[in-house]
Structure 1
Amino acid sequence: MPDELAILYNDINQDKLRVTRPSKLVFLCGGVISSVPHSKAISLRDYLFRIRGIEKKLKGPIVLAEKANQLYRETNYGDLISFEEDIARIAAVVLVIAESPGSLAELGAFATNNTIARALRIVMQAQYANTESFIRFGPVERIKRVERSFVGFYPWRINQRGVVVTGSAAPHYGEIVKFINQHIDKTPASELFRNLGDAKQFYVTYWVIYLAMAVSQTVLHGYMALLYPTLTASDLRNRLYCMELAGWISKESYSGKDYYYTLSSADPFDYAYKDSVREKDSIRRKHKITAAMQKIEAAPNHVRTVVVRKRGGSR
């Protein structure tokens, strides 16, 4: 394993290091989204996402809660909440449209989970703005007290069959888009590393993948073990799954391996070094690390071509 990687990481002043967020992810929860093509909307979330295509209007990609259906096949998560916590760690916004029994239960769980509540924003029917209920004066009030703007009330209606009345939602579509984008905008494009909390390992993993250009999971785990000796292969697999959902990374399956790569050609780190460090030429040091990584695992030409194309050019 390239000792240069561990040396560079240890030379970084983590109090002054800034990291760039690869994307401002929106984790969208709420009512059911219909799987029937060209059918009418059955929930506000269905109307916003499937009928109106709201993702095109937002300043960040959407990940649907339904992605959790693949958890037990593609990850090592033992429970749903652990996945939701990890997504919340890298999300700009966790948006719950409180419109169904399932989404209300989800809202209650999220509002009392400190990891998720940090990014939690709520869209709710205006008729419940002053209604006395456990939900309104429980989890909703808890988030509202943190910041009034975290909860958006809109006067859409639901018919007797529990289906959204799209005509009542349509006039408020633009304001809902504005509400979400305002909270995306409030999420900084870059942050001090020391303020990232439990999200630090996601950003370091992303950085290591960037340096490697393309890397298999097994080799990546070896690199990460130099920096985080207690990181398990299962935990790494889970993080890669979340980062792929978020649009931070992708993978190319070729021959007997899956190669992970970042979807941006920009280094996520704005380097700051400890005062005692003499070698502060980041470009030279990164080149040396990448060269050492290529000796351990050189991606095939096909994979390298795909990576360069997906990144929009060479690094």
Structure 2
Amino acid sequence: MSITIKNEKFDDVIIDEFGTLSFYNFTISLTPHKIFICGGETDTGQLIPQSLRERILSHIDVNENDELASSFVMAETFKDYFRENTYTDLFCFEDDIAKLSTLIIICLESPGSLVELGMFSNISDPKKILIFAPDEHVQAEDSFIYLGPLSYLKRKDKDSVHIFPWPNPNDANYADLPLVIDCIKNRLGTASKKTGFSVNNPAHVAFVIHDIIYIFYPIKDYEIQLALLSMEIEIDEMDLKRLLYLLQSMSMIGKKKYSNITFFYSLEDKKRVGFGKDKNDRIKEYKAMRLRAVQSFVLSEDESSKKRKLALKAITQMKGGE
């Protein structure tokens, strides 16, 4: 007996698969963590780390598991946020970072970090922020920084600010570093691991976008928008562009250009959204959705499907042939 495999169009599969989902049933997984860290220079090329931020990252990289080490996102990653009007509003940019991050660490050791302190001091969830401040700047408790943003944050959450003696850039030994690392781990230990989906939270929408890409890669931007609209999640082109940039900068997705097309793919090995039951009271299986998506272009010989197949081959090779 022969088995007939249905030949479907990629767009039709997107509409059919995501159209049965109800975002009211979604839950968001907040792990793996994303830790946004600001502070002094890193990768200085010196044998001795020259900033507290560099010492934190060096210690984590050598002494902790790969998942924690890969959770850190540098503030410099977002230096081109204004390019092509991806973000025209700095406050919107900072708010999106805060919502998508598990934790925001600011080491007060550079002019840029002082700016970041001012930007993030009004964060809606104070448990998401962790400030390391040098005691020589705040020990008198009459400095502008202490009386201003730091005092404000400490009133909201006493564990948001920690004051330490600052490392000597000429001394490889920094006895306080283990306590600094413990502060980070303790903060992460109190972080929520799951939450209900809110269509008004851009970070939650970003996580849904990640999972659309995770299931249907290689996928184009308008196809991602089609999937969102199929779930009745309305998003315009500029908002989609903004959230795709955010996911890229957070090392959650990548993009591959093939011919005249830009395809997106996931850099994470874990889905971020629990779909729950669909409108037919059934649980959606990711693997079944993925299989149907791949079959739709592997079995087709039109130009678009050929490009998608070759893009998938290139992406698979980049990801180590998985």
> Shorter-normalised TM-score: what interval?
0.7 to 0.9
Query: Which residue is 1:305 aligned to?
Result: 313
Could you tell me which amino acid in structure 2 is paired with residue 19 of structure 1? I
Could you tell me which amino acid in structure 1 is paired with residue 268 of structure 2? S
Residue 287 of structure 1: how far off its partner (Å)? 5.2
In the alignment, does 2:57 pair up with 1:45?
no
Query: Which residue is 1:28 aligned to?
Result: 37
Could you tell me which amino acid in structure 2 is paired with residue 286 of structure 1? M
Unpaired runs of 5+ residues, structure 1, are 158-163
TM-score (normalizing by structure 2):
0.77
Query: Which residue is 1:160 aligned to?
Result: none
Q: 1:171 to 1:210 in 2, by over 3 A?
A: same
1:231 pairs, out of 225, 235, 239, with: 235
Q: 1:129 to 1:230 in 2, by over 3 A?
A: farther
Query: Which residue is 1:4 aligned to?
Result: 16
1:90 pairs, out of 100, 113, 118, with: 100
- State the secondary structure of the residue aligned to 1:132: coil
Q: How many residues align structurally? A: 300
Could you tell me which amino acid in structure 1 is paired with residue 293 of structure 2? T
Give me the whole-angstrom Cα distance separating, in 1, the residues matched to 2:32 and 2:320.
16
In the alignment, does 2:158 pair up with 1:154?
no
Whether contact under 8 Å (1:30, 1:98) holds in the other structure is yes
In the alignment, does 2:145 pair up with 1:135?
yes
Give me the whole-angstrom Cα distance separating, in 1, the residues matched to 2:112 and 2:218.
39
- State the secondary structure of the residue aligned to 2:175: helix
Deviation digits for residues 109-164 of structure 1, max 9, x if unmatched? Answer: 2112437x55221001234256123321321122222332222221126xxxxxx5
Residue 78 of structure 1: how far off its partner (Å)? 1.0
Whether contact under 8 Å (1:55, 1:61) holds in the other structure is no
Give me the whole-angstrom Cα distance separating, in 2, the residues matched to 1:22 and 1:213.
21
1:271 pairs, out of 271, 275, 282, with: 275
Q: 1:86 to 1:263 in 2, by over 3 A?
A: same
Residue 92 of structure 1: how far off its partner (Å)? 1.1
Query: Which residue is 2:5 aligned to?
Result: none
Whether contact under 8 Å (1:155, 1:168) holds in the other structure is no
Whether contact under 8 Å (1:23, 1:248) holds in the other structure is no
Whether contact under 8 Å (2:38, 2:105) holds in the other structure is yes
Give me the whole-angstrom Cα distance separating, in 2, the residues matched to 1:101 and 1:121.
18
Give me the whole-angstrom Cα distance separating, in 1, the residues matched to 2:101 and 2:265.
20
Q: 1:280 to 1:28 in 2, by over 3 A?
A: closer
Deviation digits for residues 8-59 of structure 1, max 9, x if unmatched? Answer: 222x543xx323235311111123x16653376543324444xx35445562
Could you tell me which amino acid in structure 1 is paired with residue 104 of structure 2? V
Give me the whole-angstrom Cα distance separating, in 1, the residues matched to 2:134 and 2:170.
13
Query: Which residue is 1:161 aligned to?
Result: none
Residue 232 of structure 1: how far off its partner (Å)? 2.0
Q: 1:22 to 1:239 in 2, by over 3 A?
A: farther
Could you tell me which amino acid in structure 2 is paired with residue 301 of structure 1? K
TM-score (normalizing by structure 1):
0.79
Whether contact under 8 Å (2:104, 2:130) holds in the other structure is yes
Equivalent runs, 1:175-186 vs 2, <5 Å:
175-186=179-190
1:69 pairs, out of 55, 72, 79, with: 79
